């Protein structure tokens, strides 16, 4: 079927002019803080000799993925709230979808790598430096990027292959597979099953792996000293908080049919803009080493 749609209209978070100005101001602050916070973490880790461990190596990629993930949706949302015509071309829509899926997947894999690093550090402390050497960490990151790229290509291909013959109004503030499925002028039942298996099941499986790994870590700490328990628990608690606030909204969005719910946009805001904003706060406020390194960087 021929594709007659060359652009989409994004309804955004609100159509009220007064509320649009409020949304513009709020998300401009959020996005600025997100980019600044994550780049500050990357700069701090790269310039601090004390933060050269694999955990912080993986944290730099999580922060980079957070910045890019937020940048795929937030700038467009901010600009659209000052624009009378909130449109996005078909090619820009596919590009936005590709970027969001790619960096979102990289964020998931970075969290898994950080959980694996903590498992090895706590459960096999004597073999930690041998297992998590620099070469192995580099290979794991490369595999994560390749996996993210392949998954985003699959999702984008599914959306790109859909025929659109009108209407072209997306009741959302960015291009995602689920809103696009509702506009396709064809039966999308099979494609929706593919999306659920590609995104929903991956989210649920990754969430289960991460929670299981931290449960295993906590179980392994039962015979450790009080000081060792407190240090490990502080790190693991930060990771668990990040995992929950990222995965719960993703599972809600991607593990069901493309049905419109009033809370869909709010949930999407939480994981596309909220999580990248919270991550720098969680990893700095709960981490004495990072705070100390930031203090040195600021004094220099």
Whole-number percent of the chain with pLDDT over 70: 92
Q: What is the pLDDT of residue 227?
A: 67
Q: What is the pLDDT of residue 262?
A: 67
Cα separation, 97 vs 100, in Å, equals 5
Both structure tokens of 94:
């596919």
Binned at pLDDT 50, 70 and 90, residue 271 comes out as confident
What is the pTM (predicted TM-score) of this model?
0.89
Domains in the chain, please, with CATH? 7-299 (1.20.1070.10)
In this structure, the dihedral spanned by the alpha carbons of residues 44, 45, 47 and 48, taken in order and rounded to 10 degrees, is: 100
> DSSP code of 262?
T
Mean predicted lDDT score pLDDT of the chain: 85
2 has pLDDT over 60: no
1 has pLDDT over 60: no
Buried-state track 23-52, b at ≥16 Cβ within 10 A, e below 16: bbeebbebbeebbebbebbbebbeebeebe
Contact present, 276 and 66 (Cβ < 8 Å): yes
Model pLDDT for residues 92-103, shown as the tens digit of each residue: 999 999 999 899
**Which residues have a Cβ under 8 Å from the Cβ of 107 and sit 6 or more positions away?**
62, 65, 66, 69, 246, 275
Burial class of 259 by CB neighbour count within 10 A (0 to 12, 13 to 18, 19+): exposed
Cα separation, 22 vs 59, in Å, equals 32
Q: By mean pLDDT, which of 68-77, 91-100, 221-230, 235-244 is the weakest?
A: 221-230
- H/E run at residue 267: helix 264-269
Name the residue with higher pLDDT: 2 or 88: 88
Mean pLDDT along residues 101-120: 90
Cα separation, 284 vs 199, in Å, equals 30
Contact present, 57 and 137 (Cβ < 8 Å): yes
Model pLDDT for residues 57-78, shown as the tens digit of each residue: 999 999 999 999 999 999 999 9
> DSSP code of 161?
T
């Amino acid at each position: 079927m021929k594709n007659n749609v060359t652009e989409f209209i994004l309804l955004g978070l609100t159509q009220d002019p007064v509320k649009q100005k409020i949304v513009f101001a709020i998300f401009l602050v959020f996005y600025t803080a997100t980019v600044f916070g994550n780049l500050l973490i990357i700069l701090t880790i790269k310039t601090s000799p004390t933060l050269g461990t694999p955990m912080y190596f993986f944290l730099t990629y999580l922060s980079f993925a957070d910045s890019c993930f937020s940048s795929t949706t937030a700038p467009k949302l901010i600009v659209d709230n000052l624009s009378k015509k909130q449109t996005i071309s078909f090619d820009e829509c596919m590009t936005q979808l590709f970027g969001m899926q790619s960096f979102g997947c990289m964020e998931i894999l970075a969290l898994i790598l950080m959980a694996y690093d903590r498992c090895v550090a706590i459960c096999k402390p004597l073999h930690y430096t041998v297992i998590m050497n620099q070469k192995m960490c580099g290979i794991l990151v490369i595999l994560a990027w390749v996996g993210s790229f392949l998954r985003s290509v699959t999702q984008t291909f599914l959306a790109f292959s859909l025929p659109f013959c009108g209407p072209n109004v997306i009741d959302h503030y960015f291009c995602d597979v689920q809103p696009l499925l509702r506009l396709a002028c064809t039966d999308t039942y099979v494609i929706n099953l593919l999306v659920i298996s590609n995104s929903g099941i991956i989210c649920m499986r990754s969430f289960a792996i991460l929670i299981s790994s931290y449960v295993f870590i906590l179980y392994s700490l039962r015979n450790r000293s009080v000081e060792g328990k407190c240090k490990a628990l502080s790190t693991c608690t930060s990771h668990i908080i990040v995992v929950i606030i990222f995965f719960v909204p993703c599972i809600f969005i991607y593990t069901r049919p493309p049905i419109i719910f009033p809370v869909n946009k709010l949930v999407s805001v939480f994981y596309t803009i909220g999580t990248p904003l919270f991550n720098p706060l969680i990893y700095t406020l709960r981490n004495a080493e990072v705070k100390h390194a930031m203090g040195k960087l600021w004094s220099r």
